[in-house]
Amino acid sequence: MAATAPERGIGWLMTVTGAVGWLASFRLTVDDWRLLRDPAYRPSCDVGPVVGCGSAMASEQGNLLGFPNMLLGLGAFAVVAALGTAVLTGARLHRALWLALNGGALAAVGFVHWLIWQSLYELNRLCPYCAVVWVVTIALFWYVTLHNGRRGIIPVPRRARGAAQLVLESHWLLLAGWYGVIVLLVLTRFWTYWSSLL
């Protein structure tokens, strides 16, 4: 059975964010493995005093659970991409699976914002591959939540339906604002460095 247009939309989003997040996690894993083998190795993302992954991967924040954070990404993004592909081929995911995906995305977006704070204000580094993971995780959480609200998987109280409709109608603008705040934080935190490049 073919997927309907809204289902195809969320299916494509899950497939693309899962694939992009997995590739970024894989690149970080390869660089981390090479650093373990050769401490003199310079990761491909180390391009300046501010932009780089090496010190972030070696930090406590980069190994929060006792192993490299990117291993979480390898597993989680693979599952997201697989589920997205299933939706694209017409599979109808059970409500519990949508809720589990939403819960996982919520935990991931919370973790991502903690990592953003740590990167900017504790490690003083901007990891490009990590930033890719931030972008796709936020998009995944945002659109899975909207999908679940629209489909009634997450019940919307009657009094909140007007606000929910407004969010649905301006979803892209709200997401752009979310990203905009993060970009402003990055620009202001490292303004001295960015201005030196001009």
Q: Tell me the per-residue pLDDT of 85-139, one tens digit each, with 9 for 90 and over.
A: 999 999 999 999 999 999 999 999 999 999 999 999 999 999 999 999 999 999 9
Q: Are 151 and 92 in contact (CB under 8 A)?
A: no
Find where tokens 């997927």 sit. Answer: 3
Cβ-based neighbours of 127, under 8 Å, separated by 6 or more: 28, 45, 51, 52, 53, 56, 57, 119
Q: Are 155 and 99 in contact (CB under 8 A)?
A: no
Question: Is residue 136 helix, strand or coil?
Answer: helix
Q: How far apart are CA 112 and CA 132, in angstroms?
A: 11
Q: How far apart are CA 68 and CA 74, in angstroms?
A: 11
Q: Are 87 and 80 in contact (CB under 8 A)?
A: no
Cβ-based neighbours of 106, under 8 Å, separated by 6 or more: 141, 145
Q: How far apart are CA 160 and CA 104, in angstroms?
A: 24
Give me the residue spans of the domains in the chain.
Answer: 5-196
pLDDT grade for 76, boundaries at 50, 70 and 90: very high
Is the pTM of the predicted complex or chain greater than 0.85?
yes
pLDDT grade for 83, boundaries at 50, 70 and 90: very high
- pLDDT for res 86: 95
- Asked if residue 1 has pLDDT above 50, the reply is no
pLDDT grade for 4, boundaries at 50, 70 and 90: low
What's the topology of domain 5-196?
de novo design (two linked rop proteins) (1.20.1440)
